[in-house]
């Protein structure tokens, strides 16, 4: 399995840590190890449950998952430190630009405790063109489980969660899924 680790030779801390002379330790944790460590920390932190999920925009205005009803909505849970999240942002920007005025929107839900100014700077730097909302870190949202980042939920115009993707999505992947859904009748979730 590929990792980002390289073994480091003993460094300047060998005086403080005498065993460092004899033991060579990895300089970082593998990707799966990082995810497991992060998820464990999140669990121990007593994270918010789906019923308590609080969403707001960068200005602090409360937001709701039912906004943009009548359009396809892709809710993308992400974080600035998440490499796969950063890899998919150009695809989400492309998808949102093509569909926002017609039939679908992307809503990014950042799951960090960043200050609004830092997050706004990050959004400008990456030229993110879709709304970004903020949520406390959680493993469960009103849409479903969030086992890792990025996690995306596709919600139909009728408000039904029709798909969840853990990992990177592409604009074409989302478009193909919506096209397939269009070939079958999607019943409204409310009677």
- Band (pLDDT 50/70/90 cuts) for residue 179 is very high
pLDDT at 33: 52
E strands in 7-159: 7-8, 25-26, 56-57, 72-78, 104-110, 132-134, 140-141, 144-145, 151-155
Q: What pLDDT is attached to residue 141?
A: 94
pLDDT in tens, 72-111: 999 999 999 999 999 999 999 999 999 999 999 999 999 9
Q: Cα 98 to chain center, whole Å?
A: 21
The larger pLDDT score, comparing residue 54 to residue 101, is at 101
108 burial via Cβ count (<10 Å: 0-12, 13-18, 19+): buried
CA 86 to the chain's CA centroid: 9
Q: Which helix (H) or strand (E) holds 166?
A: strand 161-166
Q: Over the chain, what is the mean pLDDT?
A: 77
Query: Which is nearest to 137 in space by CA: 44, 70, 64?
Result: 44
* Listed range (31-45, 126-140, 177-191) with the worst mean pLDDT: 31-45
């Amino acid at each position: 399995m590929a990792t980002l680790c390289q073994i480091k030779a003993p460094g300047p801390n060998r005086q403080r840590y005498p065993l460092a002379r004899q033991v060579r330790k990895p300089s970082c944790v593998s990707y799966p190890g990082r995810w497991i460590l992060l998820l464990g920390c999140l669990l121990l932190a007593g994270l918010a449950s789906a019923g308590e999920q609080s969403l707001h925009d960068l200005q602090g205005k409360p937001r709701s998952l039912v906004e943009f009803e009548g359009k396809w909505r892709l809710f993308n849970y992400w974080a600035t430190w998440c490499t796969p999240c950063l890899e998919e942002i150009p695809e989400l920007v492309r998808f949102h630009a093509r569909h926002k005025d017609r039939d679908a929107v992307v809503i990014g839900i950042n799951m960090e405790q960043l200050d609004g100014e830092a997050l706004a700077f990050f959004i400008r730097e990456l030229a993110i063109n879709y709304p970004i909302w903020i949520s406390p870190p959680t493993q469960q949202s009103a849409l479903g489980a969030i086992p890792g980042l990025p996690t995306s939920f596709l919600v139909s115009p009728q408000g039904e969660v029709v798909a969840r993707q853990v990992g990177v999505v592409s604009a074409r992947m989302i478009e193909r899924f919506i096209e397939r859904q269009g070939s079958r009748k999607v019943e409204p979730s409310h009677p």
